[in-house]
Structures are given as structure tokens and as C-alpha cells.
Amino acid sequence: MPPFPATVCRLDSGLTVIHQPLALPVVVVDVWVKAGAIVEPDEWSGMAHFLEHMIFKGTAQIPPGYFDYVVESCGSVSNAATSHDFAHYYLTTAAPDFTYILPYLAEVLLNAAIPADEFEREREVVLEEIRQADDDPDWVGFQALLQTVYQHHPYRRPVLGTADQLQRYSPQDMQTFHRTYYQPANMTVVVTGDVSEAIALEAVNQSFPSAAGSAAQAAFAQRSQAEMMPPLPPLPTLTPEPPLTGIRRQVLELPRLEQARLLMAWVGPGTDNLIDAYGLDLLATLLSDGRSSRLVRDLREERQLVQDITCHLMLQKESSLFMLSVWLESEALAIVEAEIQRHLTHLATYPPTLEELQRAQRLLCNQHIFSLETPSQLANLYGYYSTIAQPEQAIAYPSYIRAFEREDLQVLAQRYLTGDRYAVTVLKPA
């Protein structure tokens, strides 16, 4: 494994800090929280994403909207995202403003007040987001596929939750969820850009104290939890989804859909087996990245059976998803699915050519290099790996990719991409 170019520190609070200086006049702060949708109790599905919205609605110390005012007044940019495995909050600012803005970001993360009036207003925003998603056929198909693949794991649940569930949540429910997971020991703060390690560590240490919060939070914690917050419901059992034992098929007919979709998925390894996961990355690239890839060349370029076809591995902490997405006419659905099965059987029977392997390795290694060009890309990569695996693995990807031999990919195709054990969701125009 190559040497990790950043410094990784774990503070007394339990907070992980990753710092890398860069000779650019900006600083990026990216805070990753192990509080994605997989830690939600089943009856609180969508809580993690809803909380992402409420984080910026003020604390006992700062009113709603003031964090945005501070960010905008400095000409800075902030945003956030929630996934099954994590939530993260990122900020790009001019280097001189780093120590000024960071305490405000820490304050809203650790001490979110979740006021009832803001809660009701923001619930309508999230409900509209769910309505828009429900009108997107690709989103509907993807969620249907997840529910088909993941029969047991929380990955089966949509990150947004459902409208019915969202209507039942209270500010007190969210306060319980927030106080449980938004603690320094559950966070990684990545700082990249024009700031020294000493200044970065001092600023993070002061902004994210080991006492986990301000006087307002301490006072809140002293009140009766029975009076203020409900207990956290039982958490879902997090065990890897077992491999599929047959073909699970569903067909959805959707209005306003002009072209059919064919979605196929296989269960892959989680981050406890990154080598196999990286090998599946290579197989996905070999199958569908560029005109000379197997499926694109055969099904789109030569035989014109599909309009487009893509394949990728969704790397997840547990039970990753190897997924194929095809845009095609309804009349071609059966033959295209059969041809995909034939290609996968061939990969499991015969190793790819050396030319194919080297091309896929070159593409993935170059893509990795391109992902390290900016402070925000570096912060994102370090925080992502720190949350679902180990931060040092963030830069080891090319060395693993280059180590694969042709026969290794054949074995992986045999192990994971069998033609008789997968999930398929078909979307057809109504």
C-alpha cells in the first residue's frame, strides 16, 4: 500500500481528523457522520435524510438561517448529502475564513435545536422531494430493484423514506436520533487546502469539544429524557445480504414512460472484501465502459438492440450492488436479457483477453487520478473511505487494480455474476 499523504489524528473526543495541506488558496472541510439510513430504526425510515435538512435550522446559540448567512457573507459554499452508509456536510471557503466558519459548522452539527415550527416547514420540503422522486421512473425502478435484492438488510429502504412514515415523525423523535448519532466519536472531519496541520487540529479540537456540545446541549441532556425525547426504537439487524438463490423478477408498467428499462443486479462483497469489490469494478468497466467494451460493442454498436447500457458496482459497507441498466424497446427485452446472461457465462468460462484487462485497468487508474485533482475531491475521497473502511485505503485503489490477472476476473465472474442468480426489474410503458 502506498504511503498515505494525509495526516490522520484521533482526538480525545473520539473524533477522527484527516488533514492534507495543499498549495491552493482555499480550504475544504468535509464532516462525515456514521448516521446514514442503515442506522435508522425501521419505523423511522427517512429520518437520517430529514435530519440533514434540519441541521441548518439553528441551535440555541444561532437562529435559523444564520449559518447560511455566515457562509454566504464570506463567499463560501456549503452543502450536504445522505446515503445509506453516511451523512456528510461539506464547506469550501477562502483560507483566511476557515477558523471563522468552522465553529459555526460544528455548532449546527452537534447542537441542532430542531425547533417544532421549522420542523413542520421542512417536512413539507422533504415531502415534495419524495413526490418528485416518485414521478421519476428511473428512481422508481431503482428502488424496486433494491427491495427485490435486499430482502433483509436496511439497504432495501429508500433513503428519502416514504410520505406516510414522514408524516408520523415528531421533533422529539428527531432529537433522539440526533443526540444518539451526532457525537464526535461518530464523526470524521477532513480538512484539505491552505492551512497548516497545527492550525487545522487546533481549530477542529476547539470546535468539536470532547464534552460533545455547548452549554445549551448540556442543559438539554440534564432534562428528563422521558419528558423530552422518546427512546430510540430497536435498531435493524445489520448482517450482509446473502447471495441470491434464483432469479427474482418483477415487471412494472409506468405511465409517461417512453422507453423500457431493464435493470439487473447481483449481490457483491462489502468493504470487508475490497479486493473482490475492486475486481468487480474491473468487470463492470470491461463490460460497459466505452464503445469497445463487450456489451456496448455487441448490443449497441453492432446489433443496435439497445439505446444505451451501463454497468457499475455500488460499493457499500455491506453487500455491495453490481448493477446493469439498459435503455431499450420493449420488444427487445427478452433477447437482451438472454444476451447479457450469455456474456456473463462466457466471462465465467474464459478469462478476458490481456488487451481487455489492460484497457480496463488503465481506465480505472486514470479515473482515480482524476478524482484527486481538487481539495474537495480529496476531502470527499478521504472521508468516504474513513467512514465505510479505512482512510489509508483511499489511495491504494490503483495498486490493487494493477495487481489483477486475467484468471482473477474469471474467478470473480464465477463467484458473483452467475446467470441464474440475480434480480431483474423491468419497466415498461403502460
Reported confidence tier of residue 210, pLDDT bands at 50, 70, 90? low
Does domain 7-228 fall into CATH 3.30.830.10?
Answer: yes
**Structure-block grid coordinates of residue 418:** 452467475
Sign of CA dihedral 187, 190, 196, 197: positive
Type of residue at 385: Y
**Structure-block grid coordinates of residue 337:** 436479457
Tens of pLDDT along 139-167?
999 999 999 999 889 999 999 999 999 99
What radius of gyration do the chain's Cα atoms show?
23
Residue 227 confidence (pLDDT) above 60 = no
Residue 223 confidence (pLDDT) above 70 = no
Terminal CA-CA length for the chain? 52
Tens of pLDDT along 76-95?
999 999 999 999 999 999 99
Tens of pLDDT along 19-68?
999 999 999 999 999 999 999 998 899 999 999 999 999 999 999 999 99
Structural element, H or E, at residue 403: none
Average per-residue pLDDT in the chain? Answer: 93
Could you tell me the pTM of the whole model?
A: 0.92
Query: Cα–Cα distance between 390 and 8 in angstroms, integer?
Result: 10
Of 375 and 209, more confident:
375
Residue 220 confidence (pLDDT) above 50 = no
**Among candidates 88, 14, 91, 77, which has minimal Cα distance to 51?**
88
Residue 343 confidence (pLDDT) above 70 = yes
Matching fold, domains 7-228 and 247-429 = yes
Reported confidence tier of residue 282, pLDDT bands at 50, 70, 90? very high
Report the DSSP pairing between strands 308-314 and 422-429: unpaired
Highest mean predicted confidence (pLDDT) among 228-237, 239-248, 316-325? 316-325
Query: Any idea which residue has 449559518 for its cell?
Result: 67
Residue 226 confidence (pLDDT) above 70 = no
Residue 1 confidence (pLDDT) above 90 = no
**Structure-block grid coordinates of residue 45:** 425510515
Cβ neighbours of 113 (radius 10 Å): 23
pLDDT of residue 396: 93
Query: Cα–Cα distance between 362 and 402 in angstroms, integer?
Result: 8
Q: Domain ranges in the chain?
A: 7-228, 247-429
pLDDT of residue 215: 44
Of 224 and 335, more confident:
335
CATH architecture assignment, domain 247-429: 2-Layer Sandwich (3.30)
> What is the average per-residue pLDDT within 193-205?
97
> What is the average per-residue pLDDT within 321-325?
98
**Among candidates 30, 140, 135, 152, which has minimal Cα distance to 91?**
30
